[in-house]
Structure 1
Amino acid sequence: RSTDYGTTYEKLNDKVGLKTVLSYLYVSPTNKRKIMLLSDPEIESSILISSDEGATYQKYRLNFYIQSLLFHPKQEEWILAYSLDQKLYSSTDFGRKWQLMHERVTPNRFYWSVTGLDKEPDLVHMEARTADGHTHYLTCRIQECSETKRSGPFSRSIDVSSLVVQDEYIFIQVTAGGRANYYVSYRREPFAQIKLPKYSLPKDMHIISTDENQVFAAVQEWNQNDTYNLYISDTRGVYFTLALENVKSSRGLEGNIIIDLYEVSGIKGIFLANRKIDDQIKTFITYNKGRDWRLLQAPDTDVRGDPVVCHLPFCSLHLHLQLSENPYTSGSISSKETAPGLLVATGNTGSELSYTDVGVFISADGGNSWRQIFEEEYNMWFLDWGGALVAMKHTSVPIRHMWVSFDEGRSWSRYSFTSTPLFVDGSLVDPGIETQIMTVFGHFSLRSEWQLVKVDYKSVFSRRCNKDDYQTWHLHNQGEPCVMGERKIYKKRKPGAQCSLGRDYSKTVVSEPCVCGQGDFECDYGYERHSNNQCVPAFWFSPSSLSKDCSVGQSYLNSTGYRRIVSNNCTDGLREKYMAKMEKCPGKAPRGLHILTTDGKLVTEQGHNATFIILMEEGDLQRTNIQLDFGDGIAVSYANFSPVEDGIRHVYKSAGIFQVTAYAENSLGSDTAVLFLHVVCPVEHVHLSVPFVAIRNKDVNITAVVWPSQAGTLTYFWWFGNSTKPLITLESSISYIFAVEGMNTVTVQVAAGNTLIQDTKEIAVHEYFQSQLLSFSPNLDYHNPDIPEWRQDIGKVIKRALAQVTAIPDEQILVAVFPGLPTSAELFILPHKNTTERRKSSEAD
């Protein structure tokens, strides 16, 4: 432990216990004095708590093993703990006592309440598997999470690992009928289904950003494998429009999906993305949140000042956009909120992104122009609110130097931070970026212990900045001063001024709105931008469908095909022309009525809830009567669509196929939709009833007896002998002719919903046979348990006895003991093989 930024360290082994093995260290995000250490779960389950920045510790044993912790964003004493056996615990005294909240919680799918949105500060959002085996979205308070106190904001089950609670939004995924459907709740309003373009047909969706009341999402569509399309939403997160196609994706160290999109810090609306075009990866930039994208202009000269021949669009600058998964390295691109316009990234010039021939590039004007500062890969850090840059070579060999620049990378000073070359594993820079202190850690050789090197830059920042040390910088997009609907002028430290900014530094000087132009508007949902820059309806979209949620006498916002980019601050100009217009709701007859089940399946079990969803493409939802006939003699009616939005539940008391009919009617017309639902009772047992002996080339009746008998509509699959394809029937009996003499196998499989059961029997097939019914003395019934194994063993006993007393060869005797009481059997005398062969020969003659 060091209290002087790494100048000296105090050993704490005796403070935590000499034999204690630690696995993780947490610092409270709301009170840096509070620290929690976790013991290694393979040795013991305990935590050590400090309230004095790690000077002293108290040890507490636990009855569960912690996998991860989540601290409350406001209340420093409140913590959630996730255990190795998928249980969620809560503590209100910084881990001294714990209370079980819920079992079977999905990893990393639990969230604290968001201030200003959730009514209770101790509310927890979680995704958990409930007693019915399905995954649900649940909420409860940390001290009141019994089954009666929990609530389910979404009525149906959801897909595993789909719950995301982020800022104003909550997202979930529900797969039905093989298709993924996504739902969003904005500011804790009821969930609405997310609307993507009709034929995007997503396979996967990731929420990239929820900044500034808008959602950036990456969607992998049905025809994509290693790329995603970027979509951007309206304020409520419901209606999404395409921002950029075919953005590169990759897998992280833990198998997580990483999208090559980077949001520039300090200036809203600027994003960088790596897009795949004809098997080449190229870097694009946008200044208006994805409405327009362009390639990056390559530098005019290289790092030595020699001219670079690189002309758009055939040649441009390409950047690696990955953030570091290691907190002790800088990642391939960096920008800071406190240094607007300054970007540093690893990349290359050429026709596409390279992974071998890379250097480091810098932009001081928000990505408009770039300069190359290094020919190899370097880790880059910002010091003193971004006023200074520190560079350290990214290499596997030991180094002793780092470089510092005070003029946005134009000139660099080399500093030696160690006398002996060090294999650098990483570095720590104070999160506040104000202290000008850096700790480098590594090792001198592969066998040596770790070394910590403190690098203090305070002497370099000789004084505090005054007004003469600043200059103004005008944000622009290739000379256009209006970015996101406003002109912005920033205050920046003059290049070369070696003064410290201080905590009270303010970066923005002037901000004023611009007149709204074409570039301030994007195409609304259902519209596409054509070559003339106009937004026109897509072939699948009917603009009149926007009025279906309103009733006659009310008004609705009718889209012009455009919507102003969220967070764009432009005024006047084209704003009035492109704004949605308030219009009276037209009366419409119901059209496009659909009925489906919530899980997308057309099979349900007898005695279980079946939930139906009714959808209507056009019509007045508030003034349309709905009737749903379940097909079993029961029907329900509703005056409008409001009560049926969450689904209509019904329990079928008998098995069968039922015609479910939905009927919608208003004063202007009506529409009907039909669904055929299979209601099944799970089958538990099947018995194949076959004769023991059959005559060749004659019909044999075979029956499958199913229990329970009232199982509804079943499908039977019949296999005979060595056939690889079954005969399929809806009847439980089948007639079959056996053409091959000898023992023939018969197998039946019975399918009911998701259940499949089978039975197999053998039939002896011969040209002819003799048979005789057998009866037994009553005392045999006392020993008969009436199970197949007993009947088989008794048959063997009878067969051996008959073979002895009759001198008939063993292979010509077959004894079949019948089920039930009194005990009875049938004796079959089969023809001798030679006799059968002689008969076949005479028939041939």
Structure 2
Amino acid sequence: SGFRGQGGQQRRPGWAEPLGAAPPLTLPRQGDRCIMGQQRSFRKRKPTSWCVKGKSFTSPLTSRVCACRDSDFLCDYGFERVPSTESDADKCSANFWFNPLSPPEDCALGQTYTSSLGYRKVVSNVCEGGVDLQQSPARLQCPLMPPRGLRVSIHGDAVAVRPGEDVLFVVQQERGDVLTTKYQVDLGDGFKAMYVNLTLTGEPVRHRYESPGIYRVSVRAENVAGHDEAVLFIQVNAPLQALYLEAVPITGVNREVNLTAVLLPLSPNLTVFYWWIGHSLQPLLSLENSVTTRFPDTGDVRVTVQASCGNSVLQDSRVIRVLDQFQVVPLQFSKSLDAYNPNTPEWREDVGLVVTRLLSKETSIPEELLVTVVTPGLPTVADLYVLLPPPRPTRKRSLTGDKLRTFCGLRLFSIPTETRRFCGPGPGWARFVSHRWFSVKIG
């Protein structure tokens, strides 16, 4: 709002007639009058005046450039201020880790560069003349620099590929000359080549591995000034085709149990196996395809295995019954069966089911109380697991552990007499059960 002047008339500030003398010229009062390389003066209103110059007033500021002084410079990269005995001002000296004469990383042979004397002008400072701490030294020739920071990688960051898949190797060099450097590439499968300007063009090296395996890829960069080397290991794995978990279906409390993961293709390189036993969420890791474990309590325990190889993952699971009492009877087969044994889990499982049905039919023992497990390898042998019958809701006592073997023996010896008797030394059962493809020796 305005204010009342003489005669009670209201005046507008800013465009009124001046009252009194013009505002005085004011300069900075604290010591140095140059700020960021220039000195500025400005005008301010008198405390007793209520208005300023009218429309004829042009500019409230005047400025001039100052001569450069020590305070207009900072320490350059790699330098720090240290007290100086020669003058009152501190001096910028190179840190212990910095070499001012070292050429920059992009300095190529045939080019020149300048090294810093330790000072640089403050950003936005406009001082001129005076002290020149940033004076340029003589330009230096870029020397031939040895290759440093050599790296070899695979495009896409994958270090596991499949046979026959295109692999793009990318070679990079952080420092050093690239025009006179030669690059010797060894891809580990017999392929070797010499390249020039490999890191300058950025062109990748394309290759295919035909056979599974682990290959050592090396790149050696060398010039007159020195050399550097980079190494990379690449896995070439065929995708997993099948996984089968082999384990005894029945075991006793605290008995050692072997768990085996059978893979196709056989024995792939660097396959990692994850084992989950029971309700545990923390898997057991192994590079071998088999582990051993024990079960402290009776009941059904589920065991799961995952096989991971490169980008391929397969899983299989089995349920193992942990019992207090059961009987294991060794079985042998006629030699003719070995000729048909491909030693695969599926074949062993099928033969086990056939033998179980055959023995159940010949002995009248319920099939659910018999389990036949054919063991891997040759000659073809098996174990017959005979279980106790479930307790019946009567007052009669069920079979005890002492009577289990007698019960099984009586039933197995009840095989019809037309089957052939096997005569051999030692205790135990000795009976043959004939099949159209093989014979089973019990005991």
The answer, yes or no, to whether TM exceeds 0.5 is yes
* Counterpart among 150, 173, 181 of residue 594 in structure 1: 150
Partner of 1:41: none
Whether 1:658 aligns to 2:224 is no
* Counterpart among 257, 273, 282 of residue 716 in structure 1: 273
Partner of 1:615: 173
Partner of 1:750: 307
How far apart are the structure 1 equivalents of 2:258 and 2:401?
23
Partner of 2:31: 479
Whether 1:667 aligns to 2:224 is yes
| Deviation digits for residues 336-393 of structure 1 (CA, Å, limit 9, x no counterpart) | xxxxxxxxxxxxxxxxxxxxxxxxxxxxxxxxxxxxxxxxxxxxxxxxxxxxxxxxxx
Partner of 1:835: 401
* Counterpart among 752, 766, 769 of residue 328 in structure 2: 769
The CA RMSD measured in Å over matched residues stands at: 5.4
2:109 and 2:142 in contact (8 A); partners too: yes
Superposed counterparts of 1:379-778, under 5 Å: 462-464=13-15, 474=27, 478-490=30-42, 508-524=61-77, 526-530=78-82, 533-538=90-95, 540-543=97-100, 545-575=102-132, 579=136, 581-590=138-147, 592-595=148-151, 597=153, 603-606=159-162, 607=165, 612-617=170-175, 619-634=176-191, 637-640=194-197, 643=200, 648=204, 650=206, 653=209, 656-678=213-235, 686-693=243-250, 697=255, 700=258, 702-705=260-263, 713-720=270-277, 727-731=284-288, 733-734=289-290, 736=292, 738=294, 743-752=300-309, 758-764=315-321, 768-770=327-329
- The Cα of 1:702 is off from its aligned counterpart by 0.8
Structure 2 vs 1, CA of residues 642 and 698 (structure 1 numbering), >3 Å: closer, same or farther?
closer
How far apart are the structure 1 equivalents of 2:231 and 2:129?
51
**AA matched with 1:717:** Y
Structure 2 vs 1, CA of residues 717 and 761 (structure 1 numbering), >3 Å: closer, same or farther?
same
1:609 and 1:651 in contact (8 A); partners too: yes
Structure 2 vs 1, CA of residues 672 and 596 (structure 1 numbering), >3 Å: closer, same or farther?
closer
Structure 2 vs 1, CA of residues 489 and 701 (structure 1 numbering), >3 Å: closer, same or farther?
same
2:114 and 2:137 in contact (8 A); partners too: yes
- The Cα of 1:677 is off from its aligned counterpart by 4.0
**AA matched with 1:483:** I
* Counterpart among 792, 806, 819 of residue 364 in structure 2: 806
- Match of 1:546, SS state, is coil
- Match of 1:759, SS state, is strand
- Match of 1:643, SS state, is helix
**AA matched with 1:769:** V
How far apart are the structure 1 equivalents of 2:31 and 2:251?
94
| Deviation digits for residues 467-520 of structure 1 (CA, Å, limit 9, x no counterpart) | 9877655568x5323332333345667776656999x97665323142242442
- The Cα of 1:530 is off from its aligned counterpart by 4.7
How far apart are the structure 1 equivalents of 2:94 and 2:33?
31
How far apart are the structure 2 equivalents of 1:709 and 1:506?
91
How far apart are the structure 2 equivalents of 1:506 and 1:681?
82
1:611 and 1:647 in contact (8 A); partners too: no
| Deviation digits for residues 719-764 of structure 1 (CA, Å, limit 9, x no counterpart) | 4457786554334x22536576854443323334577654332234
The alignment of Structure 1 onto Structure 2 pairs a total of residues equal to: 348
How far apart are the structure 2 equivalents of 1:604 and 1:693?
39
**AA matched with 1:479:** G
- The Cα of 1:665 is off from its aligned counterpart by 1.3
- The Cα of 1:551 is off from its aligned counterpart by 3.3
Structure 2 vs 1, CA of residues 814 and 464 (structure 1 numbering), >3 Å: closer, same or farther?
farther
Structure 2 segments unaligned to the other structure (5+ residues): 4-9, 85-89, 333-345, 375-381, 389-398, 406-443
| Deviation digits for residues 760-780 of structure 1 (CA, Å, limit 9, x no counterpart) | 32234676434889xxxxxxx
- The Cα of 1:555 is off from its aligned counterpart by 1.0
Superposed counterparts of 1:280-359, under 5 Å: none
- Match of 2:114, SS state, is strand
Partner of 2:413: none
1:719 and 1:747 in contact (8 A); partners too: yes
2:107 and 2:142 in contact (8 A); partners too: yes
1:682 and 1:711 in contact (8 A); partners too: no
Structure 2 vs 1, CA of residues 674 and 578 (structure 1 numbering), >3 Å: closer, same or farther?
farther
- Match of 2:144, SS state, is coil
How far apart are the structure 2 equivalents of 1:500 and 1:605?
83
How far apart are the structure 1 equivalents of 2:262 and 2:181?
49
Which structure has the larger Rg over C-alpha atoms? 2
1:622 and 1:641 in contact (8 A); partners too: no
**AA matched with 1:835:** G
2:304 and 2:317 in contact (8 A); partners too: yes
1:661 and 1:675 in contact (8 A); partners too: yes
How far apart are the structure 1 equivalents of 2:370 and 2:230?
62
Partner of 1:250: none
How far apart are the structure 2 equivalents of 1:609 and 1:466?
86
Structure 2 vs 1, CA of residues 652 and 491 (structure 1 numbering), >3 Å: closer, same or farther?
farther
More strand by share: 1
2:243 and 2:316 in contact (8 A); partners too: yes
How far apart are the structure 2 equivalents of 1:598 and 1:574?
54
How far apart are the structure 1 equivalents of 2:241 and 2:79?
54
- The Cα of 1:616 is off from its aligned counterpart by 4.2
**AA matched with 2:273:** Y
- The Cα of 1:834 is off from its aligned counterpart by 3.5
Percent of aligned positions that are identical: 24
How far apart are the structure 1 equivalents of 2:198 and 2:43?
56
How far apart are the structure 2 equivalents of 1:506 and 1:529?
41
2:173 and 2:199 in contact (8 A); partners too: no
How far apart are the structure 2 equivalents of 1:500 and 1:631?
87
How far apart are the structure 2 equivalents of 1:682 and 1:494?
90
Structure 2 vs 1, CA of residues 490 and 581 (structure 1 numbering), >3 Å: closer, same or farther?
farther
Structure 1 segments unaligned to the other structure (5+ residues): 1-403, 407-412, 414-458, 774-787, 818-825, 840-845
- Match of 2:110, SS state, is coil
Partner of 1:203: none
2:92 and 2:119 in contact (8 A); partners too: yes
